[in-house]
Structure 1
């Protein structure tokens, strides 16, 4: 991977973490350019308590690592609860340490809903900055 990066074949490499200890190690590892972090407002399908995961996610971000949030809908555990999906989008968008998110869907409507939830969360952030 490092050779491919040096040759310009890839621009970054990283890790998908499934333990808080792995995130802590990633934050201190110069090789890591990006990290996938399981993160949502309830701690569903995450690697520890919300506060602990947020703390180590910030450490990764502060060390220059690109942070990709995953499991933001709790790996489907919020499937039947639109309010939880909305809260999760707002929570993750309010974190200044998550650069992007990936979300899996089973229903087309959920794609449109997430777009709207993210839009609303970002509008709220903008309003609070004024």
Structure 2
């Protein structure tokens, strides 16, 4: 969990290291110079050839409880408001229980305008059947991106080989566009950064160190600002290997209740050149407006 006392002691050192060792490197400096100007821009996702809006709408805050608490009408209004602002990347998962909610929310809108990413948890016996169910629930013939969800072990590729092979087959049949992984430990992230199979990495990232990957082999280990630089190092390897990188937990899983903390985290993500896109779980149009405004302001200094 986010600890203000820890992060404030270490934040200056972490961000200074980013400024000197990351933002000025040829890799990320070039990415920063090439940055678009708004949260709504369609940006390239690594080597995949696919594009998505720079800012995505997370549909799984606190396992989807936050979004489902809006009720169907409220959720529909939220998704359509985001769409009207140009936010076409929707992020969900089997465990969030929002597949059918998204299906209803985008009904009547052009499917091809959306980038839908979902996640398959665990190691199901018949992954292709699970994927077919996902498509039915989402009401779509294809899913843009499917990730194996919440990996924590240093050999998750062996543990989830059945899922990986199934997603590769589905990609070949154009049932899905790309595949990848969401990691929840540093050992899992280190493996992910080096695997050619990974098209897309969904990475927990914020400069305050809230809810980041740590050496502990558990999804909910306590983290702080000391864990920021190890995560950044793995992202650099991902970028060098052509992986798409999407930042999550940008506002500390909702822990950043102060606007200043949210601005700091968003500026870091936008100006470091570490990510192609980011995803934030929203529960109101006001939160969308704030994030869009903050991202646009952060990008403006790069042009």
**Structure 1 length normalisation: TM-score?**
0.91
| 2:291 paired residue among 102, 114, 121 | 114
Q: CA deviation at 1:106?
A: 2.9
Choose from 176, 190, 193 the match for 1:10.
176
Of 73, 77, 85, the match for 2:251: 73
> Whose RCO is larger (CA < 8 A, sep 6+)?
2
The unaligned stretches of length 5 or more in structure 1 are none
State how many pairs are aligned: 125
Query: Does the CA-based 8 Å contact 1:5-1:11 persist in structure 2?
Result: yes
Structure 1 partner of 2:231: 53
Larger of the two Rg values belongs to structure: 2
Deviation digits for residues 35-90 of structure 1, max 9, x if unmatched?
10000110101114111111111111211110010000000010x20011111110
Following TM superposition, the consecutive aligned residue runs of length 4 or more in structure 1 with deviations greater than 6 angstroms are: none
**SS of the counterpart of 1:103?**
strand
Once the two structures are superposed, residues 81-128 of structure 1 have per-residue CA deviations (whole angstroms, 9 ceiling, x without a partner) of: 0011111110001122201111002332111000000000000122xx
Q: Distance in 2 between matches of 1:24 and 1:125?
A: 30
Q: Which residue of 1 aligns with 2:201?
A: 35
- Residue 103 of structure 1 corresponds to which residue in structure 2? 280
Aligned to 1:124: 301
Following the alignment from structure 1 to structure 2, what is the Cα–Cα distance between the partners of residues 40 and 97?
11
